[in-house]
Amino acid sequence: EAGVAQSPRYKIIEKRQSVAFWCNPISGHATLYWYQQILGQGPKLLIQFQNNGVVDDSQLPKDRFSAERLKGVDSTLKIQPAKLEDSAVYLCASSLGGARETQYFGPGTRLLVL
Amino acid sequence: SQQGEEDPQALSIQEGENATMNCSYKTSINNLQWYRQNSGRGLVHLILIRSNEREKHSGRLRVTLDTSKKSSSLLITASRAADTASYFCATEAGRRALTFGSGTRLQVQP
């Protein structure tokens, strides 16, 4: 079974630029999550989708971050404009059902904002 | 904010020794999960313990949960160099996705 795929694996941009990350969850998984992991910390949930609807985006900085999950499969996370403090690893995860089920994580996208 | 807090923040042991990591949390939960993260990689699910369970085993892993103290522990027995990684506890409560702690960095010396 293929795992969660993410791209790109690494990205370096300058502040105020825009960046987009892509995630392809495990086939058949209804729930998709985006987490932000700052160096030395645990992952923090940014947004949770159930199929193509948003379940929780309470911790998403909506003035600069946006995410979508068209057709309930792939998802993109965008930052526009980026700030220095956005430097982190962005992890995508998926689960078969809701949050009570095991989440499977992708390898992450490491973002460096200069 | 992060609900779970792991203790210790860092742990260094010799191969063959046991490693114990603790996690404390603040609110009622449905389940608690432990994940491992190798440097520069994604997280790997290790074990899930539900709020009505007190202990669970999986291979060399033993997890305990004390809901009265809002704490959990992860024991890795007979550690190996390959166990070197960061270990995170994560709590699940309601519909919200997992809330992770800040992790314990385990170094197993060969």
The CATH homologous superfamily for domain A5-113 is Immunoglobulins (2.60.40.10)
The count of residues in chain A is 114
Q: What CA–CA distance (Å, rounded) separates B14 from B16?
A: 6
Query: Domain range spanning residue B16?
Result: 5-109
Residue ranges of domains in chain A: 5-113
Name the residue of chain B whose CA is nearest to A106's CA: B42
Name the residue of chain A whose CA is nearest to B29's CA: A100
Average pLDDT of the segment spanning B47-55: 95
- pLDDT band at residue B16, thresholds of 50, 70 and 90? very high
Q: What CA–CA distance (Å, rounded) separates B31 from B53?
A: 9
Q: Tell me what pLDDT residue B1 has.
A: 43
> For the segment A55-109, what is each residue's pLDDT rounded down to a tens digit?
999 999 999 999 999 888 999 999 999 999 999 999 999 999 876 788 999 999 9
> For the segment A29-61, what is each residue's pLDDT rounded down to a tens digit?
999 999 999 998 999 999 999 988 999 999 999
Confirm or reject contact between B33 and chain A (CB < 8 A): yes
| CATH number for position B61 | 2.60.40.10
Q: What CA–CA distance (Å, rounded) separates B106 from B15?
A: 12
Contact (CB<8Å) B103/A42: yes
List the one residue out of A87, A86, A75, A79 whose CA is nearest residue A34.
Answer: A75
Confirm or reject contact between B59 and chain A (CB < 8 A): no
- pLDDT band at residue B6, thresholds of 50, 70 and 90? confident
Average pLDDT of the segment spanning B5-10: 89
- For B102, the closest of A42, A104, A105 (CB atoms) is A42
- pLDDT band at residue B3, thresholds of 50, 70 and 90? low
